[in-house]
Amino acid sequence: MKPSVPAAPALDALPAVRPDRVPLMLLPVLVLAALPLTGSLSTWVTLTFAGLAMGMIIFIIASGLTLVFGLMDVLNFGHGVFITLGAFLATAVLGRMTGWTESESLTRNLAAVLPAMLAAVVVAGLVGLAFERLIIRPVYGQPLKQIMITMGGMIVGVELIKVVWGPQAIPLPLPAAFRGSFLFGEAAVEKYRLIAVVVGLAVFGAMSWVLGRTKVGLLIRAGVQDREMVESLGYRIGRLFVGVFVAGSALAGLGGVMWGLYQQSVTPEMGGQINVLLFIVIIIGGMGSVGGCFIGALLVGLISNYAGFLAPKVALFSNILLMVAVLLWRPQGLYSVVKR
Amino acid sequence: MSTPLLKLEAVHTHIGAYHILHGVDLEVAHGELTVLLGRNGAGKTTTLRTIMGLWHPSAGRVLFDGEDLGALGTPEIAHRGISYVPENMGIFAELTVAENMLLAARGAKRPEDIDPKRLEWVFGLFPALKRFWQHPAGLLSGGQKQMVAVARAIIEPRKLLLIDEPSKGLAPAIIQNMVEAFRELKRTDTTILLVEQNFNFARQLGDRVAVMDDGRVVHAGTMAALAGDEGLQQQLLGLSLAAHQ
């Protein structure tokens, strides 16, 4: 009997399109699985919102980092300095506007917070531009040197922040209208956590629109997959990278303000401490994938909060366990974009 | 031979410590299809990548329309009017076919902005493209991806196409579609430099041929002369045309 030879596919045979939604399902599965474990609906609601808020802030900070890696294979261990810078700028701006932040008026509170966020975004973006030019550009394509020099850059940056603001922790109290909680039945959800979720969703929405609906976004998505081909089509990937790096630094500055307000205190070391979480998130999500980064950040935020409540000792390494589990399942992360 | 659009003069290329091209001399005439033949490792792909600026020549000159491309970056070379289809096709797997094409249409911001007449002409060459226009390119078969890669290279008029092994791994029906498409391109006076190992495919299309070995061009002439001389084929390629039929 002759072995059967598979027929060549027809020239116009339509491929089956099956969007990969399995990683997305992890979020509802995790949230629902935590419900019986937490023991009460109100505790579950509070923990879930806390996790989502934390995840959203981490996403804002990490989204630029994952694109920076995806576009140019640059591992920027200095990303944390932009977070710290953003947070300290917020203390400087809000510290001069205490009359407005202590007012019960939401409008006056927003009129204080928005300039603080704007200052953080602009200054972190400009510092990011200088960081790329002076520190990263000389070590393109040299991963080991990138790790060393970006870490060195962060150490220098943190020391400069200490020179300006001092080494001690500085309080960053929430504006008056952001304090307190909303009550949903017996469940208390802090107002600021709700705000963080809204801001995080807005950033994710804006980023999805830019990446999905504009030519620049298309170039970024293409560059993450195959930068050499993007250059062969006539586009200067280096310029695109600088733009993404500046945007990523600016977002880290914004995230620094959000994180500082979340913690209600800022320290020069805060960026370095969050750095570890950022790398866990972008590895879980798949290097270069913004969607994966979003899911990864929410998973990390939720697991940190659930584990902190259910098993505080496990909380110390719960995110590492999550990363190991994801990598055992999908070694390239939840959504593999970079094939190099 | 008419005026060369592309001329390589004693081009040497190093990749790290390896010396790959050892003084390549090559001319590609206006409006002709030149085939670059040779065994694996002869330097054909490196020649295309050197022309495209993906690797820079360590010596010698790459002249395009009289201009030395040696100091230019890849995007600038593409802007001079050169399209490149790499051996791996360079398809953006996560993007749709429409998005892949949009990237090559540099003046267009949305797929609807692509010149409709040009697009219809491309659909005429590869009718199947129309059906999977909105599909993710990564889900297509190898042959369909090759169609996208070639279509992307010609979605806007270019002076020179560099195409690396378009028949590699394709089913015979798809190879025939490619042959017809390249014949139509030749009728539009497009200049093409095609790297091939499939001599039967190359023979159907080539006006001129250059054979490479060990990083040098060891033979250049008309395709008709090589196709009609089995002894020369044996000598240059270590095979006969009959063996491929």
The tens digit of pLDDT for each residue in A292-329 reads 999 999 999 999 999 999 999 988 899 999 999 999 99
Read off the tokens for A151.
Answer: 């870490």
Residue B98 has pLDDT above 60, yes or no: yes
| pLDDT value for A12 | 62
How far is the first Cα of chain A from the last one, in angstroms, to the nearest whole number? 43
Query: Domain of B17?
Result: 4-87+157-244
Q: Pick the residue from chain B with its C-alpha nearest to A214.
A: B109
Query: Helix, strand, or coil here: B59?
Result: strand
Cβ(B198)–Cβ(B167) under 8 Å? yes
- From CA A103, how far away is CA B140, in angstroms rounded? 60
Total Cβ atoms within 10 A of residue A33: 10
What is the ipTM score, two decimals? 0.92
User: Does B54 sit within 8 Å of A228, measured CB to CB?
Assistant: yes
Distance CA A284, CA A294 (A): 10
In a domain, B168, yes or no: yes
| B88, B92, B133, B152: best to mutate for the A interface, most A CBs within 10 A | B92
B144/A219 touch (CB, cutoff 8 Å), yes or no: no
Domain harbouring B203, CATH code: 3.40.50.300
Burial label, A323 (beta-carbon count in 10 A; 0-12, 13-18, 19+): buried
User: How buried is B35 (Cβ within 10 angstroms: 0-12 exposed, 13-18 middle, 19+ buried)?
Assistant: buried
Q: Please indicate, yes or no, if residue B146 is contained in any of the structural domains.
A: no
Cα–Cα distance between A303 and A318 in angstroms, integer? Answer: 7
Does the beta carbon of B96 lie under 8 angstroms from any beta carbon of chain A?
Answer: no
Q: Say which of B73, B147, B173 has its CB closest to residue A8.
A: B173
Q: What is the pLDDT of residue A2?
A: 42
B155, closest residue in chain A (CA to CA): A233
Using the Cβ of B60 and the Cβ atoms of chain A, whether some distance falls under 8 Å is answered with no
List pLDDT tens digits, range A203-220.
Answer: 999 999 999 999 999 999
Radius of gyration of chain A (CA): 22
Burial per residue of B70-90, b for 16 or more beta-carbon CB atoms within 10 angstroms, e otherwise: bebbbbebbebbbbbbbeebb
Q: Domain count for chain B, please give it.
A: 1
Q: Which of B93, B128, B174 sits opposite A225 (nearest CB)?
A: B93
| Diameter of chain B measured on Cα atoms | 53
What's the CATH class of domain A40-329?
A: mainly alpha
Among residues A201, A207, A173, which one has the least CA distance to residue A53?
A201
CB pairs under 8 A between A and B: 93
Report if residue B62 sits inside a domain: yes
Nearest CA distance, B226 vs chain A (angstrom): 32
Confidence of residue B245 (pLDDT cuts 50, 70, 90): very low
Weakest-pLDDT range from A8-12, A15-19, A25-29, B96-100? A8-12
- Report the range of poorest mean pLDDT among A70-79, A159-168, A285-294: A70-79
Question: What is the pLDDT at residue A339?
Answer: 59
- Domain boundaries of chain A, sorted by first residue: 40-329
Establish if B93 touches chain A: CB-CB under 8 angstroms: yes
